[in-house]
Amino acid sequence: MELFNYILTIMPMMLTGLVTTLHMYFWSAIFVIPLAIFFAFLKVSGPRPIRWILNVYTWAWRGTPLLLQLMVAIFGLPTIGINISNKFAVAAVVFCLNNTAYVTEIMRSAIESVDKGQYEACQVLGFSRVWTILRVIIPQSIRIALPPTCSMMINLIKDMALVNIISLMDLTRSAYIISNRDSTISPYVIAFIMFLLITSVLIKLFGVLEKRAMRYD
């Protein structure tokens, strides 16, 4: 009973943390798919210099740990004179760019897996290049890329735990602070359960989405 009361008293702070985490997740996730589709198309059929830049981008962002990227942005950039006071925005941009690098590669391989004959068929039918891409290639690629993209989006919510290192009051940070203040483990357990619930809900949601997308297969 005592434990129950204690949990009730710390709940407001935990929930505020949860809201920050979800807020961050929203802003990190919302631009990933449009950006990734755009980048993937440039990678497949863009001009050579742009392709080269995008190759370096996906290689560098996928080859280094997210935590390091966050630290460079938060602690490193100010030392070379780039001072952005809005830590929340900086972190969201890092999360977005990191996840976009992975999803770009997923989209690229999905686009490349669409048969060459379809391009030729569209040409025969007199479709313009843009029309071919928008109406024929993209809808198919999205379907192929959906399952791995969904698992990237689930990874992204788990990556949100990293936010605490930049001392924003997210879920993990709140747990850390309450746990230090009250010398108890329960805030961590609550944060753990909250993450489990969110990922379970996301997995269910994406499962429904995948089923809907696959209904013509």
Instruction: Number of residues interacting with other proteins: please give it, by CB under 8 A.
Output: 39
Which of 103/175 has CB closer to other proteins?
A: 175
Residues numbered 172-191 forming contacts with other proteins, rule: CB under 8 A = 172, 175-176, 179, 183-185, 188-189, 191
Place of tokens 């755009």: 38
Cα angle value 199/64/205 (rounded, 5°): 15
Q: How far is the CB of 146 from other proteins (least distance, A)?
A: 18
Q: Please identify, among the stretches 1-9, 11-19, 59-67, 118-126, the one whose residues bind other proteins according to the rule CB under 8 A.
A: 59-67
Q: How far is the CB of 160 from other proteins (least distance, A)?
A: 7
Place of tokens 């560098």: 60
Which of 66/136 has CB closer to other proteins?
A: 66
- If binding is defined by CB under 8 A, does position 64 make contact with other proteins? yes
Residue of 113, 181, 192, 207 that binds other proteins (CB under 8 A): 192
- If binding is defined by CB under 8 A, does position 14 make contact with other proteins? no
Q: Please identify, among the stretches 6-14, 64-72, 104-112, 115-123, the one whose residues bind other proteins according to the rule CB under 8 A.
A: 64-72
Residues numbered 70-89 forming contacts with other proteins, rule: CB under 8 A = 71-72, 75-77, 79-80
- DSSP string spanning the chain? -HHHHHHHHHHHHHHHHHHHHHHHHHHHHTTHHHHHHHHHHHHHHS-HHHHHHHHHHHHHHHHS-HHHHHHIIIIIGGGGT---S-HHHHHHHHHHHHHHHHHHHHHHHHHHTS-HHHHHHHHHTT--HHHIIIIIIHHHHHHHHHHHHHHHHHHHHHHGGGGGGGT---HHHHHHHHHHHHT-SHHHHHHHHHHHHHHHHHHHHHHHHHHHHTTT-
Structure-token pair, residue 94: 């890092």
- If binding is defined by CB under 8 A, does position 205 make contact with other proteins? no
Residues numbered 143-172 forming contacts with other proteins, rule: CB under 8 A = 158-162, 164-165, 172
**Residues contributing to the site for other proteins (CB under 8 A):** 59-60, 62-68, 71-72, 75-77, 79-80, 158-162, 164-165, 172, 175-176, 179, 183-185, 188-189, 191-192, 195-196, 199-200, 203
